[in-house]
Structure 1
Amino acid sequence: MIQLNNLEYLYDSPDANDSHSILLPAVDKIVEEFSPASIFDLGCGNGSVAKHLSDRYVVTGIDPSTSAVAMANKAYPNIRIESGSAYDDLRARYGTFDLVLSLEVVEHLYDPRAFAKNVYELLNPGGTAVISTPYHGYFKNLALAVTGRLDSHFLALWDGGHIKFWSIRSLGMLLNEVGLEVLRFERVGRIPALAKSMIAIAQKPR
């Protein structure tokens, strides 16, 4: 997530939240498919996903929320989790990785192109990007409108909340722009047409 003036994305605890219970089973299968030696968790929040993966992989994480990073460092002192932004020169600071993971981050960003460029630069040749964001498509948006849930879903009063609403097409275009090859999308939570989130799996050319 990005920091907005003095606002931070806050966490109640270092534990996984409800969205993780939906995302992690799919993420585990995807990560296992590519068997990375190293993972960079871009926008790691409270560190719970980094901890989940650290039993099997070497994980490094960053997040702009200083309170979240402090919480993660206290709960998971053996994992490298530091303060940083999706807009920083992350490759110069951390090097490159076999897999870049970014869960529910890109919808919070004013400059998603800078984020996508960083994902590309952080990857080794042939490396994999795994990026999730809330799913939006025609039938889901229609269902939100018909059920009167547009205001609650596109909540403008959520400080630091969602400011970009991605479809498979638009997120695919973003990743293609920076040179990543989109391998596929997976949708998780509910039936596909009304999915809670989608996960893009993309690869940097060798």
Structure 2
Amino acid sequence: MKESVNGIANYGWKDAEPKDSQAYLSEPIVKILHNLKAEKILDLGCGNGAFSHYLHNQGFSVVGCDADQDGIEIAKAGNSGAKFKQLSVYDSPDLLHEAFFDTVISTEVIEHLFSPSALPRFARTVLKPDGHLIVTTPYHGYLKNLLICLAGKWDSHHTSLWEGGHIKFWSYRSLSQLLEANGFKVIGFKGAGRTFGLWKSMIITAQINN
């Protein structure tokens, strides 16, 4: 697995199958996008493009970008009509050669970044002046963390031995602070997967704070 200064450059994509998280993130994200009346979407950290293709098939105009060459090659082999570019959140947004997106989405990416502020900075550059950013990441809150400890699952849950795995672990408060420090105002929160307070992931919606 190839490493870069800021993390893993090769995630290890082998096929076009969606990540497990897509099963419980797809429906709520599409609902949010419809509520925002979004049309042009950037899937930032799109991996193998599975979610980008799904969104395109739901009627959105989608561009996906990711640092992983293998993932982008798999994504480009799809037939939905979504467009793809090999590009990292650490690269210049100008290299995307696209801008004025209604919404940038980033699903289960920010926990893999050594410098997570790069993600909202990149997004803000390519969004419309009133554009939105939707970020999902594994949920961590007091109750869930307590139960993980009581069950003796702390080591396995945090998967420290996973090459290219999770670097940072986010709560609603910490992720909101990150987004607000980088020019966004948080306007929505939703848990996804499992039951209340024990969610697998959280979905945070933010808008550019002009």
Q: Give the TM bin, normalised by the shorter chain.
A: over 0.9
User: Quick check: 1:4 aligned with 2:3?
Assistant: yes
Report sequence identity in percent: 37
**TM-score normalised to the size of structure 2?**
0.92
Out of 131, 134, 142, the residue aligned to residue 135 of structure 2 is: 131
Corresponding residue for residue 83 of structure 1: 86
Q: In structure 2, what is the equivalent of residue 199 of structure 1?
A: 203
2:191 maps to what in 1? Answer: 187
Who is 2:54 aligned against? Answer: 52
CA distance in 1, matches of 2:13, 2:193: 22
User: Is 1:95 aligned to residue 91 of structure 2?
Assistant: no
**100, 110, 115: which one aligns with 2:114:** 110
**Counterpart Cα distance in 2 of 1:89 and 1:43:** 14
User: What secondary structure does 1:46 align onto?
Assistant: coil
- Moved runs in structure 1, 4+ residues, more than 4 A? none
Q: Is the contact made by 1:47 and 1:76 (CA closer than 8 Å) also made in structure 2?
A: no
Task: Evaluate the alpha carbon distance shift between residue 91 and residue 123 of structure 1 in structure 2; reply closer, same or farther with a 3 A threshold.
Answer: farther
CA deviation vs aligned residue, 1:146-190 (integer Å, no higher than 9, x gap): 111111111111011000000000000000001101002110111
Contact 1:7 1:159 in 2 (8 A): no
Superposition deviation, residue 118 in structure 1: 0.9
Match among 62, 67, 92 for residue 65 of structure 2: 62
SS at match of 1:115: helix
Question: CA separation in 2, counterparts of 1:168 and 1:91?
Answer: 30
Structure 1 unaligned residues grouped into runs of 5+: none
Aligned to 2:148: 144
Secondary structure of the equivalent of 2:62? strand
Structure 2 runs not aligned, ≥5 long: none
Q: Could you tell me how far 1:78 is from its partner in structure 2? A: 2.9
The superposition leaves residues 89-142 of structure 1 with CA deviations (integer Å, 9 ceiling, x where unpaired) of: 114532221100000000000101121211111210111111000000111111
Partner residue, 1:168: 172
Query: Could you tell me how far 1:18 is from its partner in structure 2?
Result: 1.7
Asked if residue 37 in structure 1 is aligned to residue 39 in structure 2, the reply is: yes
Q: Residues 56 and 80 of structure 2 are in contact (CA less than 8 Å); yes or no, is this contact kept in structure 1?
A: no
Per residue, is there more helix in 1 or in 2?
1
Asked whether the equivalents of residues 176 and 186 of structure 2 are also in contact (C-alpha less than 8 Å), the reply is yes
Q: How many residues align?
A: 204
Does the CA-based 8 Å contact 1:133-1:199 persist in structure 2?
Answer: yes
SS in 1 for 2:203: strand
